[in-house]
Amino acid sequence: MAAAGHNKYAAGYGQVKHHEWRTAENSASHLLPRLQAMVKETPQLKLLDVGAGPGTISASFAKYMPDGQVTATDISDEILGRAKEHADSVGVKNIQFQKANVYELPFPDSSFDIVHVHQVLCHLDAPPDAIREIVRVTKPRGVVALRESEMKMWCIFPELPPLLQFHEIAAKTLAANGGQDKGGRQLVSWTMKAGVAREDITASFGTWCYSTPDDRLAWAGSMMERLKTGQMRGKAIELGIATEQEIDDMVNAWDEWSKTDDAILGIMNGEVLVDKK
Amino acid sequence: MAAAGHNKYAAGYGQVKHHEWRTAENSASHLLPRLQAMVKETPQLKLLDVGAGPGTISASFAKYMPDGQVTATDISDEILGRAKEHADSVGVKNIQFQKANVYELPFPDSSFDIVHVHQVLCHLDAPPDAIREIVRVTKPRGVVALRESEMKMWCIFPELPPLLQFHEIAAKTLAANGGQDKGGRQLVSWTMKAGVAREDITASFGTWCYSTPDDRLAWAGSMMERLKTGQMRGKAIELGIATEQEIDDMVNAWDEWSKTDDAILGIMNGEVLVDKK
């Protein structure tokens, strides 16, 4: 299927930085037990991580399958370079990197035992087309694991007004870039539209929790970066949904939040496992 | 501390019915690994389940600690009777039932290895007072497990308008009954106000997911019951936040939702484990 006409997703630096916090343990717990069971049966498992970004989740997967092989793709050569650096830095060898468009994956049918896709579909304008392509490259009796955030499902405390405004403009800039702000809840629906039967789909919701001092700092630091220098500042001002002053207030509010002992942020993500027949 | 002056929480029938869907596995996964580890060290573990309602979670705990003893409390004798019936029906023997007010638990200091509290604090007007009392009856080196829902954190698909209205009136009737609609995100804060140090608190978020045909039916059936005969109908009309016609529309919408193949509902809950020093 043609990629022409689809929207383009290019992450800003701040976004990538927070993405580096992600691991298989904190971001793919819906897949991990299945992955571990499959590795026992098939040590030379082949796993494809589509839209892997900085590759921290891909590298965590690789550790669970020492005799297997991970292929990590991204639309951006620059991001793939960073993913390779990360894998090198943590000593992961059984991983390879390949530039790819999710709508036209450069692999034959039935190439992988597991295909993992995390926070990619919400940036696309035609998720079911991408899922059909993802299922195509999955082997029969293989597993597809999808996970997408729900922009509405942020649960923050304390509710500092600039942070509530931040949440609003994050959803609006995602939508303005052609993305989906309610991806998590639509995963079952998108997957069925891609031709998968309901009984082959297992749905769940997973969460991220930022509550310890370290996790609060990692999150707030990344959001402050996005506000100061990332794509988000420019886009919010271009769209007229925040002023320079309001954006500065948001930076200060994230700083205050990160230093507040009882502060917390929870984010809910939709999850789907597909058992390919 | 005196219970006088606090609000009273009395569940309607429909509410109890859905509560029976709850198990340790789907509602206390933040505690289960810790419980299992503690049972290995102390087989004769004593667990208190505060505000146990129909006791399905309490009975699931009892199965994980065959040589231990579960005590389940509730403010209502009638609900406790139902909890006892449930325990009998599933053959659980190592459980006892006791009427108790969460603000004045009828147990000496340091009585239990684990104290579990699920969806109770959100119905109270002074959660930190209740947590202080819960911590009091927990042994040093014991664990307190709290879990409270976040009324704002509902993620439903498809977004049928009567279901969105249902969600609004559910939050408003909770608040009108003196409850807290943002309990999950305040658990860390409430626990610190009860005198627990931040470093003794582990926070997380858990979810409920209603997506399979059986789970959709269980949820929708219970909500339809609440709307038809439960406390919710009367309260909503009394508060002037829904008309009879709108309530009938909600009943029909839940019915339609339950029959929709790609329908889903996710609900996020705040969770806290306290390691008592």
The tens digit of pLDDT for each residue in A75-110 reads 999 999 999 999 999 999 999 999 999 999 999 999
Range with top average pLDDT, A231-235, B136-140, B213-217: B136-140
The alpha-carbon gap from A98 to the nearest alpha carbon of chain B, in Å, equals: 33
pLDDT per residue as tens digits for the range A37-51: 999 999 999 999 999
pLDDT for the residue numbered A179: 86
pLDDT of residue B174: 84
Interchain proximity A204–B203, CB inside 8 Å: no
In the block, residue with structure tokens 């700092």: A217
Domain residue limits, chain B:
13-275
For residue A10, name the pLDDT band (cuts at 50, 70, 90).
very low
Amino acid identity, residue A147?
A: R
Average pLDDT over residues B23-34: 96
Map residue A183 onto helix, strand or coil: helix
Record: contact B205-A155, CB cut-off 8 A: yes
Interface of A with B (CB under 8 A): 150, 152-153, 155-157, 182, 184-186, 188-189, 192, 198, 203-209, 211, 261-262, 264, 266, 268, 270
Digit-coded pLDDT (tens) for B146-186:
999 998 899 999 999 999 999 999 888 888 888 888 999 99
| CB atoms closer than 10 angstroms to residue B241 | 15
Which runs of E-coded beta strand occur in A51-137?
A: 69-74, 95-99, 112-118
Instruction: Give the pLDDT of residue A152.
Output: 86
**Which superfamily, per CATH, for B13-275?**
Vaccinia Virus protein VP39 (3.40.50.150)
Tell me what the pLDDT averaged over chain B comes to. Answer: 92
Residues B5-11 have a mean pLDDT of: 51
CB atoms closer than 10 angstroms to residue B259: 12
Test mutation, B151, B157, B208, chain A, max A CBs within 10 A:
B157
At B189 the pLDDT is 98
Q: In angstroms, how far apart are the furthest CA atoms of chain B? A: 57
Residue B3 has pLDDT above 80, yes or no: no
Average pLDDT over every residue of B227-249: 89
Contact B189 A152 (CB under 8 A): no
Distances (CA, A) of A6 to A72, A121, A217: 22, 12, 35
Q: What is the DSSP string of chain B?
A: ---TTS------HHHHHHHTT--HHHH-TTTHHHHHHHHHH-TT-EEEEET-TT-HHHHHHHHH-TTSEEEEEES-HHHHHHHHHHHHHTT--SEEEEE-BTTB-SS-TT-EEEEEEES-GGG-S-HHHHHHHHHHTEEEEEEEEEEEEEEEEEEEES--HHHHHHHHHHHHHHHHTT--TBHHHHHHHHHHHTT--GGGEEEEEEEEEE-SHHHHHHHHHHHHHHHHTSHHHHHHHHHTS--HHHHHHHHHHHHHHHT-TT-EEEEEEEEEEEE--
Q: Which of the four pLDDT bands, split at 50, 70 and 90, describes residue B4?
A: very low
Written as six digits, the tokens of B260 are 């929709």
